[in-house]
Structure 1
């Protein structure tokens, strides 16, 4: 396993982040435990979850699965850099959503209880809160750090100017601010190259891409359709229809490289500026093992240029849309 620092922090994390959103929704608890044990065997120490994850087990269900896994001992908690998120409504009563000081306090304590731990390594804002001032947000986070309940703060789904504002307000308070930003980013969806990535680089924030395979569309979907092992529907089918030519070229190129399409997609992300660790969300042990293969895929300048030709990206704003 390869490791790097999370943003400008001294925290060391694996170049792949284990996403747990499927735990309790698609993956039963026993299989979730096996996947997490296997992740440690592979050297993955960075796990991501959220207080709203749970699927059929209900909000908080995924955190509870992680908590019961930690409770088995064996160094599981100590070897894990644990990241969770808050923002979404946990119930319809007032003050049980977003980033007010009250909800940060309540949501944090509830997550700690479900996770069966006394601290969270990276506590993340799942969305920007346009109604709560940064002074209030950062004061609540400063209290949580002082109490030893969290170590670092992160964000998710922020715009570039949100990152810049958050960091400016944190610096004004002599607070560390954000060390990471989770954003939708993959070969097919590259919008964050315009302003989010430059803002992250300028402010020492590590990018954690989610949906690195764009819901499986970059994981060999055309080949799987031909083999009869997958059928797309809904928005995935619409996206595939709109980009079929590109995706077919991409799968053909992956075959030329002698690599699986999903491995190429992850390997490409690992070469992008500011990217710390893509989030992989395996439903099975086999999917986890497959994702780890991406670390062995080496993309030279020719391969990167070919991928850029198939999936054109963005220049940094404003050059992307101005002279």
Structure 2
């Protein structure tokens, strides 16, 4: 179960953690059956009241933020406490000192990162190793899907090198990979936001159409294939799904059982070619 302290946004910052906490409170050993991950970085102060240490990864903000998250979540520990973004102003020595204290207190079991570049994953774990006794990062949550494959250049290789699990967010790229053109043609929900902006580019729209045509040829659902493809990728632990309906949840679960043949995988690479590994992707 994945969330962040700022989710809910605006006046509702912290709302999603509170919803999870209310669900845990219903009992049935729900907390024990969940791997709980939340994030720290965003500013949680009321508008106009922000001061230094109200956000990012200073030791004092980490200490305050984890206590506030635990209260909203209605639990006494977080399985994976994730850094939502890099903090260019706080050294990792300070970050790890704060995390070590939380681990000793039993408030946090493991630390993870989100939206980190490859070099920051390496820096974080090298400094953790030098400290001795600090576990370091165990996971990286990054933007990664068929349409957006830049993570394959540096982030995924760094994660593999340091033993991190890769947890892709936006596996359907804002709905683009979920059959958006077919749904619109059938009178269903149309693309909005980032997806609509992307489809305004004729070249991008043509790629999405080619993707949907390929899967129609194989009799497969686009959203399920997008998730199943991520499960074939080296280093990927599992994508983050955010279903709005029971049907979407059932579709996501079917993706786990879906086996993609070599012909289909080659076709997907043709429609959405990855950047290739670094440095070959930009050098030789």
> What TM-score comes out, normalization by structure 2 length?
0.95
Distance 1:208 1:96, change over 3 A: same
Give the counterpart of 1:185 among 144, 152, 166.
144
For structure 1, the 5+ residue unaligned runs are 1-46
Give the counterpart of 1:109 among 45, 54, 67.
67
CA shift digits 1:212-240 (9 cap, x unpaired): 00000000001011112122345322311
Q: Contact 1:218/1:261 (CA < 8 Å) preserved in 2?
A: yes
Q: How far apart are the structure 2 equivalents of 1:79 and 1:180?
A: 20
Q: How far apart are the structure 1 equivalents of 2:35 and 2:257?
A: 23
CA shift digits 1:74-133 (9 cap, x unpaired): 010000000000100001133110000000000000000010100000000000000001
- The 5 A counterparts of 1:199-278 are 199-242=158-201, 243-278=204-239
Counterpart of 1:307 in 2: which secondary structure? helix
- The 5 A counterparts of 1:1-323 are 47-55=1-9, 58-91=12-45, 92-174=50-132, 175-242=134-201, 243-323=204-284
- The alpha carbon displacement at 1:55 in A equals 4.5
CA RMSD of superposed structures (Å): 1.2
CA shift digits 1:280-315 (9 cap, x unpaired): 011222221121111121112211111000100021
Q: Contact 1:218/1:265 (CA < 8 Å) preserved in 2?
A: yes
Counterpart of 2:6 in 1: which secondary structure? coil
Distance 1:186 1:66, change over 3 A: same
> What TM-score comes out, normalization by structure 1 length?
0.84
- The alpha carbon displacement at 1:182 in A equals 0.5
CA shift digits 1:186-213 (9 cap, x unpaired): 1000111110011011000111000000
Aligned pair count reads 277
Q: How far apart are the structure 2 equivalents of 1:56 and 1:295?
A: 35
- The alpha carbon displacement at 1:322 in A equals 1.3
Counterpart of 2:200 in 1: which secondary structure? helix
Of the structure 1 ranges 195-204 and 87-96, higher mean CA displacement relative to structure 2 is found in 87-96
Q: How far apart are the structure 2 equivalents of 1:236 and 1:79?
A: 34
Distance 1:136 1:59, change over 3 A: same
Higher relative contact order (CA closer than 8 Å, sequence separation 6+): 1
Distance 1:73 1:189, change over 3 A: same
